[in-house]
Amino acid sequence: MTPTALTHWLHALELRTTAGWSTFKEALSSGRGKGALWIALIALVMAVLTTLVWLAGRYETSQLQAELESDTAEAVGDLRRQLARQSQSLQGLQSNTPAEAFWSNEAQALLREHREWLRIESRDLGMKLKNQVDTPLRKPIFERTPRIDSLNETVQACSKARRINGPSYSSSYFLPQSDGVGFEVMEMCLPQTEDGVLIGFTIVTYGLQELLNELLGNSFGRRNEISFTEPDGTRLAIAGSQSRGLRVFTSQQLVNLPGNTLVFRMDGRRGEAHLFPNVLTALVTGMSMALITVMILLAKDSRRRLKAERDLAEALAFRKAMEDSLVTGLRARDLEGRITYVNPAFCQMVGFEPDMLTGKNAPMPYWPPEMVDEYRQRQAIRLAGNVPPREGFESVFMRQDGTRFPVLIIEAPLISVQGEQTGWMGAVIDISEQRRIEEVSRASQERLQATARLTTVGEMASLLSHELNQPLAAISSYANGSLNLLNDPQAEPQTMNDVHMALRRIAEQAERAGRVINSVHDFVRRRDQAREPLPPHALFDAVAPLVQLQARKLQVIVQTQIDPHLPEVMCDRTMVEQVLLNLARNGMQAMDKPGCNDRRLLLKARRAASNADQAWVEFSVTDVGEGISESVAQQLFTPFFTTKSEGMGLGLSLCRTVVEQHGGHLEFEAFMPKGTVFRFTLPVKTPPVLDKIRA
């Protein structure tokens, strides 16, 4: 008897013994004499004996059924494995495109090896028959019924095989024979490919009767009757034999095959559980065991109760010590929002004693006065169950001395032993130190960004000198021409018109030079790190002058594509402009190679895939350079890794950091036929209503 069954038996015995022992004590206390005492004792012994015999029979029956179910599961597993191996061996017939005679010989060999195979066919994509071989062990199975009558099942199996790119099985169907009988068959369709292109199908016809006999009959059919059945119990094929017995045990399992599901059934006849060979010996043994068991159970029950009480006290003490040592604040609230429990860490965090918090409802003593209305609304939304459980959110608490500090709150439903929700349990974490570290990291990132901008401006110095040379030269020419016209005493009356035109051209060229200088000045001096809503085209317009400087030098054509009606994105303008400029410069430098005649850089903005919480806009920079090799791609975002002799290796690393700080992600992929696409996402400005719900 297994430990589980023994445990159930002892439990039932304890219940019945307890009832009998109670009757025995009642009879003894009532003083009705020895007759009542013996009646109670006999009843106790009979109850124990009956229970023992009944449990033994139940246990043996369950063991027999469990053994049959285990054999059924093992048979189903063997059947699946052998069918999988057969499909693999059939693939050898498709490895090449042999001549028809060679294919027929190979197919004949496979049919002799697998007696459950009745026919092998080779068909093209239009299900037109190319080759076919019947088993030499019996008459052709389609001698009476034309093959075309059953081709519908084959077509469905091949359609499924084509979709899953693997073997697929058809539903079974009855195939009558010329001798007046018939049998159930099933077909397997295997796609045939050549150089990765589907060119046809190989079809094998199985006989369900032969399938049972050949694959499972020798191992599982000796002691049991095995069969394939319909869902309503109709037998399709039967194999094996049953030994004589008094009771039939039955087990069924589904054989899940690609495209078809068979019901496999195993029946076995076994004898019922036997009674004790000697009733008198069994009776005496049962009485003795019952009396001894009663005393043992009573003693064990007493010890078990004492041990349970000690364990409970130790568990309560351990839980109390654990809660007292936590640095995370714990807060329990009922369904109305009243605080029912706080741990010492929470009290230390807010500076209030437990009795000052327990039983309190909104407004809480640790709520800042200016945020009471907002927190009331947020608590109502959470208590109504409109926020997913175990979703953390940030808030601001106030200590008893009035100081504010940020916290992270994670709340989940508080479920009782009966499975009913009785309130909410929240974990409160002080994130003041985390915010301080993030601020230090942000300042460090800002310094790195400033350094990168200055480095970029330094690299553009030569470009600026070339770009400013043209407007300055034009200004000088127009100014000298104007002086010559004014100093010429023989000048005609239209001289003043020419002077006015020259002065206008001077102003235009000066404005052009000023725009170039101001764009660089704004790029270097910009320090505002606050995130603001911006239209995507504003980001492209801000970096356009600097991108055009590099593009004119490298003879690159810059194209911009912005989808209409794009929403505004929430971003740090300076950092995102640095990301766009770095990616654009990297793309243009990737095309500055000998032999690269088609130099086009595409800047694009479009909507990205969104989820229920946040919408995104995707920005991409595409070049047609040589692309990125696999060895470089593995460490492309590693700090201080660069493929340029003058580079520092910080550009892409800083770009990824900036994008991730905005909640997006930066990635790249090859652009066909050549080139690389860098993409990054920025969050769309969230409506105020959603912001309030998330808070």
CATH of the domain at 506: 1.10.287
Residue 308: inside a domain = no
Dihedral of alpha carbons 312, 318, 321, 324, sign: negative
Tell whether 129 and 163 lie within a shared domain.
Answer: yes
Residue 58: inside a domain = yes
Higher per-residue confidence, 56 vs 587? 587
Q: Identify whether the C-beta of residue 183 lies closer than 8 Å to the C-beta of residue 209.
A: yes
Q: Which two tokens stand for residue 186?
A: 């099933």
Residue 254: inside a domain = yes
Kindly list the distances between the CA atom of residue 550 and the CA atoms of 395, 461, 544, 577, 585, in Å, as whole numbers in the listed order: 47, 11, 10, 16, 7
Amino acid found at 38:
W
Higher per-residue confidence, 385 vs 589? 589
What is the Cα 245 distance to its own chain's centre? 52
Strand pairing class (235-240; 225-229): antiparallel
At 256, give phi and psi (nearest 5°).
-85, 110
Q: Return d(Cα 216, Cα 76) in angstroms, integer.
A: 9
Tell whether 550 and 677 lie within a shared domain.
Answer: yes
Of 505, 527, 549, at which residue does a domain stop?
527
Q: Which two tokens stand for residue 54?
A: 């009944």
| Total count of domains within the chain | 5
The reported pLDDT for the residue numbered 45 is: 62
Q: Which of 17-26, 88-97, 142-151 has the highest mean pLDDT?
A: 142-151
Global pTM value: 0.37
Q: Identify whether the C-beta of residue 265 lies closer than 8 Å to the C-beta of residue 228.
A: yes
pLDDT tens track for 133-175: 988 888 888 888 888 888 888 899 999 989 988 899 998 888 8
Q: Return d(Cα 175, Cα 207) in angstroms, integer.
A: 10
The reported pLDDT for the residue numbered 390 is: 61
The CATH number of whichever domain residue 188 belongs to comes to 3.30.450.20
Q: Identify whether the C-beta of residue 369 lies closer than 8 Å to the C-beta of residue 397.
A: no
Least confident piece of the model among 2-6, 245-249, 431-435, 630-634 = 2-6
pLDDT tens track for 313-371: 888 888 777 777 777 888 888 888 888 888 888 888 888 888 888 888 878 888 888 88
The reported pLDDT for the residue numbered 7 is: 41
Residue 502: inside a domain = yes
Buried b vs exposed e over 534-555: b needs ≥16 C-beta within 10 Å?
Answer: bebeebbebbbbbbbbbbeebe
List the Cα angle 294/299/302 in 5-degree steps: 125
Tell whether 115 and 219 lie within a shared domain.
Answer: yes
Q: Return d(Cα 539, Cα 577) in angstroms, integer.
A: 6
Q: Return d(Cα 256, Cα 472) in angstroms, integer.
A: 82
Q: Return d(Cα 518, Cα 525) in angstroms, integer.
A: 10
Residue 576: inside a domain = yes
Q: Is the pLDDT of residue 37 over 60?
A: no
CB neighbour class for 8 (10 Å; exposed up to 12, middle 13-18, buried from 19): middle
Q: Cβ neighbours of residue 326 under 8 Å, at least 6 residues apart? A: 343, 345
Least confident piece of the model among 237-251, 410-424, 601-615 = 237-251
Tell whether 456 and 511 lie within a shared domain.
Answer: yes
Count of C-beta atoms within a 10 Å radius of residue 622: 19
Count of C-beta atoms within a 10 Å radius of residue 576: 25
The CATH number of whichever domain residue 682 belongs to comes to 3.30.565.10
pLDDT tens track for 589-616: 888 887 777 889 999 999 888 776 788 9
Strand partners, 339: 333
Tell whether 258 and 395 lie within a shared domain.
Answer: no
| DSSP SS3 for 563 | coil
The reported pLDDT for the residue numbered 16 is: 43
Kindly list the distances between the CA atom of residue 518 and the CA atoms of 218, 526, 536, in Å, as whole numbers in the listed order: 90, 11, 21
| Nearest C-alpha neighbor of 619 from the set 665, 564, 552, 685 | 665
Does the bond joining 673 to the residue before it have cis omega, within 30 degrees of 0?
yes
The reported pLDDT for the residue numbered 386 is: 61
Q: Return d(Cα 127, Cα 69) in angstroms, integer.
A: 41
Tell whether 120 and 179 lie within a shared domain.
Answer: yes
Dihedral of alpha carbons 148, 152, 153, 154, sign: positive
Of 267, 286, 310, at which residue does a domain stop?
267
Q: Return d(Cα 97, Cα 135) in angstroms, integer.
A: 22
Amino acid found at 442:
R
Q: Return d(Cα 341, Cα 422) in angstroms, integer.
A: 13
Helix axes 651-661, 573-590, angle to 10 degrees: 140
Tell whether 461 and 523 lie within a shared domain.
Answer: yes
Tell whether 520 and 556 lie within a shared domain.
Answer: no
- The rounded mean pLDDT for the chain is 76
The reported pLDDT for the residue numbered 18 is: 47
Q: Which two tokens stand for residue 20?
A: 């009998």
Residue 680: pLDDT band by 50, 70, 90 thresholds?
very high
Residue 230: inside a domain = yes
Higher per-residue confidence, 323 vs 273? 323
Q: Which residue shows structure tokens 């099942």?
A: 153
Q: Identify whether the C-beta of residue 230 lies closer than 8 Å to the C-beta of residue 249.
A: no
Residue 335: inside a domain = yes
Tell whether 523 and 534 lie within a shared domain.
Answer: no
Q: Identify whether the C-beta of residue 406 lies closer than 8 Å to the C-beta of residue 695.
A: no
| Nearest C-alpha neighbor of 119 from the set 156, 82, 145 | 145
Q: Is the pLDDT of residue 9 over 50?
A: no
Tell whether 571 and 628 lie within a shared domain.
Answer: yes
H helix or E strand, kind and range, residue 293: helix 279-325
Tell whether 583 and 688 lie within a shared domain.
Answer: yes
| DSSP SS3 for 335 | coil
Counting runs of H as helices and runs of E as strands, what totals does the chain give?
A: 18, 22
Tell whether 419 and 456 lie within a shared domain.
Answer: no
Least confident piece of the model among 16-25, 69-78, 547-556 = 16-25
Does the bond joining 98 to the residue before it have cis omega, within 30 degrees of 0?
no
Share of the chain above pLDDT 70, in %: 72
User: Domain span at residue 514?
Assistant: 443-527
Q: Identify whether the C-beta of residue 10 lies closer than 8 Å to the C-beta of residue 286.
A: no
Q: Identify whether the C-beta of residue 239 lies closer than 8 Å to the C-beta of residue 184.
A: no
DSSP summary character for residue 370: G
Residue 18: inside a domain = yes
Of 527, 547, 577, at which residue does a domain stop?
527
With helix as H, strand as E and coil as C, how does 387-452 read? CCCCCCEEEEEECCCCCEEEEEEEEEEEECCCCCEEEEEEEEEECHHHHHHHHHHHHHHHHHHHHH
Q: In what order do the strands lie in the sheet with 393-398?
A: 339-342, 329-334, 421-430, 404-415, 393-398
Residue 311: pLDDT band by 50, 70, 90 thresholds?
confident
Q: What is the largest CA-CA distance in the chain?
A: 157
Q: Return d(Cα 316, Cα 322) in angstroms, integer.
A: 10
Q: Which residue shows structure tokens 């790190």?
A: 529
The reported pLDDT for the residue numbered 369 is: 85
What is the Cα 125 distance to its own chain's centre? 37
